Structures are given as C-alpha cells and as structure tokens.
A = this chain, B = another copy of it.
Amino acid sequence: MGVTVKDVARLAGVSTATVSRALRGFGSVDPSISERVVDAANRLGYVGSHAAAALSTGKAGTIAIITPFVDRLAFQRMLTGVEHELRDTGMDLLIYCTGDPSDPHPVPPHKRLAKRVDGFIVMSLSPESPDLAEILNLRMPLTMFGAHAPGASSVQIDDREGAASAVRHLLDLGHRRIGIVYGRESTNPLVLEHQRHLGVRDALAGQGVERDEELSVAGEFTMTGGAAAMERLLDLEVPPTAVFAFSDEMAYGAIQTIRRRGLALGRDIALIGYDGHEMSSILDLSTISVPFEELGARAAHILLSDIEDGGSAGPVSEMLPTELVVRSSTAGSGTTPASRAAAAAGTPD
C-alpha cells in the first residue's frame, strides 16, 4: 500500500529522477535503463501519485465541466463529445454541477475548482450569474458552451437564426397564431434564450405577423414544464395552431399534453422543438438540430489548446450550424399518428 518512485528506483538501481523520466517516456533515457525501470514499476504495481505530480508541475491534468444540470439530454450529448475528445489526451474530467437556484452547490465553482483543474468548459451558465464573473476573474483557460462572454473562447450555434428558421417553417405552413414555449424569464441579451426570442421576432416580422404576448409561456426546459406550458397554451381563448418549444424536452412534455387532450399531433396542432435529440425522430417531432456532440468536442479541443499555449492564441469563437428537420409533427399529413392509424385500419399497406 504505497509504492513510490523511490521503491521503483531502488529496484531498478537508478535514481528517482530517472524513474520519473523513463516512466514518462522521455527520449533522453537509455533504452535498456528505461526498460528496466518500466519492468520494476510493473513488478511493483507502481502507480504514480497524481497529487504529487500535480503539485510538482503545477498542472492538474484535469478539466472541469461546469453545468447547472446533469439530467438533460443536451448535457449528455455534449459530455459525449467532450469525453471523446479527451480520451487520448491524458486529461481527466471533473463534473461540477451548480444545481438549481433552489438547490445550489454549497461551494461556488471558482473556490472549489480554481487550483484543482487546468481549465473549464462552462455550460449554459447565465451571464448574470455571479459565479460566471468569478470564474472569468480567475483568468484561467475557459471555453463557454452555448453562450458567450467577452474575452472568453466559446462554441455555440446561431440561436437567433435557428429560432427564426423554426418559426419561418411554421409560417410557411400557413400558421399565424404561433405559441412559444421558452425556458425561463430573462432579459439579458447574452442569454441564448434572448437570441431565440429575437429570432422568433425576426421571422414573425418577416411575414408581418403581430406578436401576441399571451402566446409565450415558460416551460423551464423540462418535460413536465413543457407539458404544463402546453396546457396553458391550449387553455387560451384562442389557442395557437402551432407551437415552437425552445427545447425538444419541453416539446416532449407538450406532446404528452396534446395526447392527453385527444388531439392529433401535426394535424390538430403543429409542434416543433429545438435540439434535434435522437428521441425526437421516434416521436416524429420536427426540430432544429443542434450538434451538441460536436460542440462538446470542439469546446474540449479549444480548451486543450488554450491550456497548452497558455492562452497565447487569444479567445476563439466557433459557431456551428443548426438544421431544420421536418417531421410529421409539422407536416400535418402522410405520416401523422392519426393518418397512419387510419391507413392501418383501412387499406392494408
């Protein structure tokens, strides 16, 4: 319980410095010696102390993802990308979850992580958040995910255009009364939601359609929130004929409500989501596809370069494209659950 460099050095008959060099594959070590060292290490089952190495080098060998939630598909997908990118780099991955405002992490991220990691990927942290300010203030390598902060690297999508294309799609279909299920209230222009609201307005204005405030409801970015939001929308005196949800998950909840009310998705009411999760294809939900995995991979890549260069390259911002995916939730014919069922009952395919 506690094999150290010294033990390896003794067994191999060399100094600890040589052990250190050999084990890290420095070219400047005699091959035969190196082999002897590796051999000794294996025989002893030596595993280096990360803490000691980190203390000595001043590098943590770790990056952290700071996120307000871990139970969302978007997080899962970006994690997949990050993890994949990190796999071969020897960097470890720490998850720091800030938590809901109702159930926050007891220690602010900058306190907890500053001297513990080499850099951060910050996901969906509200620009208003004091945590963000503190993190930026650390002046450590950092990549923002899905948002932007002046002076920091970031990966994102064009939320404004993405939202606009969703609404344009609905408008093209002839809808004029369009419900919006957004996440949370916010007035900060740096919040991605704000951009999406702008996109909605852009599209509406493009067709000269007046915006009706009562058609915008919050869905908290959750399925249950989306279900409740759709309830409110359907309870309006004049309900919308089409709804754009700012996330697929909220759209899933909306679908649940639609079904509970005995309405047919895509026929009685059109619905489009945002995110392009795999699940949406099964629900026949139209959506704006967002390449979360790739965004995650890019974020990790940028962060890693930043850590390596010491930030000499300056902040980098990448914007990846979204894509409108049309399915029967907005098609209104052909492959709607309703029409499909009718077809199955009538003429055998």
Contacts and interface: CB of A to CB of B under 8 A. Distances in A.
Contacts of A264: 340-341, 344
Given A71-B80, A87-B99, A283-B282, A115 B51 contact: yes
B76 A115 contact: no
Given A95-B93, A97-B83, A338-B345, A71 B60 contact: no
Interface residues of A, number: 67
A238 interface: no
B349 A344 contact: no
A340 B259 contact: yes
Interface stretch (A42-50, A156-164, A315-323): A42-50
B106 A47 contact: no
A309 interface: no
Interface in A87-110: 87-88, 90, 92-97, 99, 103, 105-107, 110
Contacts of A255: 282
A256 B337 CA distance: 12
A76 B74 CA distance: 11
Nearest to A89: B106
The 10 tightest CB contacts between A and B, nearest first, are: A51-B54, A338-B341, A50-B116, A47-B114, A51-B55, A71-B80, A262-B349, A341-B341, A49-B115, A262-B344
17 contacts: A48-B115, A49-B55, A51-B51, A51-B115, A70-B76, A70-B83, A71-B76, A79-B95, A92-B116, A93-B94, A94-B94, A259-B282, A261-B349, A279-B279, A282-B283, A341-B342, A342-B342
Interface of A: 47-52, 54-55, 60, 62, 70-71, 73, 75-77, 79-80, 83, 87-88, 90, 92-97, 99, 103, 105-107, 110-112, 114-116, 223, 252-253, 255-256, 259, 261-264, 268, 278-279, 281-284, 337-345, 348-349
